[in-house]
Structure 1
Amino acid sequence: MTITTRLTKILGIAHPIVQGGMQWVGTAEMASAVSNAGGLGLLTALTQPTPDALRKEIARCRTMTAKPFGVNITFLPAITPPPYADYVSAIIEEGIKVVETAGNNPAAHVKRFKEANIIVIHKCTSIRHALAAQRIGVDFVSIDGFECAGHPGEDDIGGLILLAKAAKTLDIPFLASGGFGDGRGLAAALALGAEGVNMGTRFMCTEEAPVHHSVKEAIVKATEKDTTLMFRTMHNTARVFKNAVSQEVVKIEKRPGGATFADIQPLVSGQRGREVFTKGDLDYGVWTAGQVVGLIDDIPSCKVLCERMVKDAEAIITERLGSMVGTKSKL
């Protein structure tokens, strides 16, 4: 089972599958499992409380896999932002070869990464942002459609359109992100011009994912309608799992006269979300999940998941689609 793309060649991985950055989930256990399965695992830098803690997590991950893995770092506005430059220094000094960036314009940090010969993948929710990322010198962009978990941007454009537009517009290779979790999605992404897929929610629902089993069971039981969008009125839309807390946030946002962030801040605390993953109380806080929950019906190992996706994608490409072309129809 082999699908070779520019992504697999450049990164030296077996399968064109990347595990996206996930707060509280992108630990050494997750990243090493994906890398050992033939994909690219990513540590989430800001899951670690300090740059020195990230250095230790990188070292720990190296004891768990000899295969390529990278680090995700998301640059977000904050009253007191994390020491981003120090996290970047830790990534560079620890010899990481692949970085996924997301959030605000990463130009200054990308310059440092490229000076260190690091491959940079930047996640974008619009073509205009992808073009900007291309201009600052990233190697790949990850095109994140409206279906995705976390922040889908404010344009509300689905992956089908974004990916086709990326293929027509960009000069650099791109990945497909948001809504991917099986071989059909992988085959579709490749047909649309992507070099592979980037998955978060699907990897949350694997044996190795460091989240409570109750969370995984909830994902399996969920339908594609079991996510909701919050922060819409604040122009910082986030797709999260539909539970009592996220529905309360949406209700507050719809109050006459609107709401401020202070009105909902206690409900959306990151620590509350983290406790969902550690203790399994699904309604304790908000937690991100994409619409792909509607396609997930099991909890496999990362190895089984990646191999199954590639096998199914190969069959679709060679058998189903292959049977549709030729001088004589085989239908």
Structure 2
Amino acid sequence: MFKTKVTETLGIKYPIIQGGMMWLSKAELASAVSNAGGLGIITALSFDKPEKLADEIDKCKSLTDKPFGVNITFLPTLRPVNYDAYIDVIIEKGIKIMETAGRNPEPYMKKLKDAGIKVIHKCTSIRHAKKAEAIGCDFVSIDGFECAGHPGEDDVTSLILIPRAADELNIPVIASGGFGDARGFLAALALGAEGVNMGTRFVATKEAPAHENIKKKLVEAKETDTILVERSLKNTLRALKNKHALKIKEMEEKGATLEELAPLLSGLRGLKALQTGELDDALFACGQVVGLINDIPTVKELIEGIISEAEKILKEKMCKFI
């Protein structure tokens, strides 16, 4: 059951993908997801050198013999990134699945396609999704407004964005933003998606490399406990509502410049929070799906629970409407 274009093309058992999350999507989490039948993803830019990414890929290969992918997000940074060097590592290590996000990956597409890599591009709008298809991406992962991280500037929810993408595109659509249980999984498939991408939900698992205090905070949080910041910069970010996020929002409302905000937006603050469990001094990307997180299972328990519950819903609940 639940054989889709995602499972068939990527060679995985279940159409569940773990999103590429900065500092979190490393070998332990990615291998656990792949071993459980989903698609695990390592985030390349969590490593400051391509050589360190190579080591992490080797580590993941030692933990799983199942397919896994690597994420690269193309974004403007204060420190230039040699994306070609990271891509060279991905190719040299024989990775055949890559998740891209941020800016248009077109400059790198020939190199990726020549290496036989399947490209999943994350988008937040139909216009960007159609461009991704036009440049040769194999899948589009469409991010609804509920998602953690950067939901774009159009504020369209998954309930609308997924079927719109399915209607407009000829390549398979992966639903991202607001997914964390069997109900959402089935809804995504019904809306036209070929699978789901989950980020926040995978943070609250045993294998995720986050401090236990953060995982407990996610269990305690409700769907109203996220906040949008960086809207004034046209780079909207959905994060957990905490003192730091509220301070940034207040500064934006008072007209703060990028130069004034930049020290507070540093990703290294987030890395420190993941290590110490102290969240009051950092932005922590978090989706509204946090309201559906009630436990901290293993990755295997989470994925198998979603699949078994989805099968149960289809057999016991949905059939009464037929």
Pairwise same-fold verdict (TM > 0.5): yes
Letter of the 1:131 partner, please give it: K
Kindly state the Cα deviation for residue 94 of structure 1 after the two structures are TM-superposed: 0.8
Structure 1 counterpart of 2:260: 263
Aligned to 1:27: 26
How far 1:54 moved relative to its partner?
A: 0.5
Counterpart amino acid of 1:103?
G
1:305 and 2:302 matched: yes
Give distance in 2, aligned partners of 1:135 and 1:119: 15
Q: Structure 2 counterpart of 1:240, which letter?
A: A
> d(CA) in 2 for partners of 1:41 and 1:318?
29
- The answer as to 2:288 corresponding to 1:291 is yes
* Displacement of 1:240: 0.7
Match of 1:91 in 2: 90
Alignment of 1:59-70 (within 5 A): 59-70=58-69
* Alignment deviations for residues 203-228 of structure 1 (CA, whole Å, 9 cap, x no partner): 00000000000000000000001110
- Secondary structure in 2 matching 1:233: helix
Residue aligned with 1:267, SS: helix
Q: Which residue of 2 aligns with 1:328?
A: none
Stretches of structure 1 that go unaligned for 5 or more consecutive residues are 326-331
- For 1:51-200, list aligned pairs within 5 A: 51-200=50-199
* CA root-mean-square deviation: 0.9
CA deviations over 1:268-313 (Å, ceiling 9, x no partner): 2111111110110021211111000000000000000001111111
What residue identity is the alignment partner of 1:270? G
Q: Which residue of 2 aligns with 1:213?
A: 212
How many angstroms apart in 1 are the aligned matches of 2:232 and 2:297?
A: 37
Cα deviation 1:102-159 (Å, max 9, x = unaligned): 0000012122111111111000000000000000011110010000000000000000
Conservation of the 8 A alpha-carbon contact between 1:42 and 1:70: yes
User: Which amino acid letter does the alignment assign opposite residue 175 of structure 1?
Assistant: I
Specify the alignment match of 2:279 in structure 1.
282
Distance 2:159 2:29 in 1: 28
4+ long deviations beyond 6 Å: none
Task: Find the counterpart in structure 1 of residue 239 from structure 2.
Answer: 240
Give the match for residue 329 of structure 1. none
> Which amino acid in the other structure matches residue 242 of structure 2?
N
Task: For residue 13 of structure 1, report the CA deviation from its aligned partner.
Answer: 0.9
- Deviations 1:26-61 (CA, angstroms, capped at 9, x unpaired): 110110111111100000000011111111110011
Structure 2 counterpart of 1:317, one-letter code: L
Q: How far 1:315 sits from its partner (Å)?
A: 2.0
Which AA in structure 1 matches 2:320?
A: S
Q: C-alpha separation between the residues in 1 aligned to 2:161 and 2:269? A: 33
Distance in 1 between residues matched to 2:320 and 2:187, nearest whole Å: 16
Q: Secondary structure at the match of 1:265?
A: helix
- Which residue in the other structure is 1:319 paired with? 316
Aligned 8 A contact 1:187 1:314 in 2: no
CA-CA distance at 1:164 after TM superposition: 1.1
Q: State the alpha-carbon separation in 2 of the partners of residues 198 and 211 from structure 1.
A: 19
Q: Which moved more, 1:294-303 or 1:77-86?
A: 77-86
- Number of aligned residue pairs: 322
Give the secondary-structure state (helix, strand or coil) at the position aligned to 1:96: coil
TM-score using structure 2 length: 0.98
Quote the Cα distance in structure 1 between the aligned partners of 2:311 and 2:259. 50
Query: Given residue 307 of structure 1, which amino acid in structure 2 is its aligned partner?
Result: E
SS at 2:264's partner residue?
A: coil
Query: Aligned-pair distance for 1:234?
Result: 1.1
Q: CA deviation at 1:77?
A: 1.3
3-state secondary structure, aligned to 1:3: coil
- The residue number in structure 2 matching 1:273 is 270
Cross-structure match for 1:250 = 249
Query: Are positions 1:43 and 2:42 aligned together?
Result: yes
Q: Helix, strand or coil for the counterpart of 1:321? A: helix
Shift of 1:14: 1.0
Q: Secondary structure at the match of 1:202?
A: helix
Tell whether 2:225 aligns with 1:226.
yes
CA contact (8 A) 1:127 1:162 kept: yes
* Deviation for aligned residue 1:316: 2.1
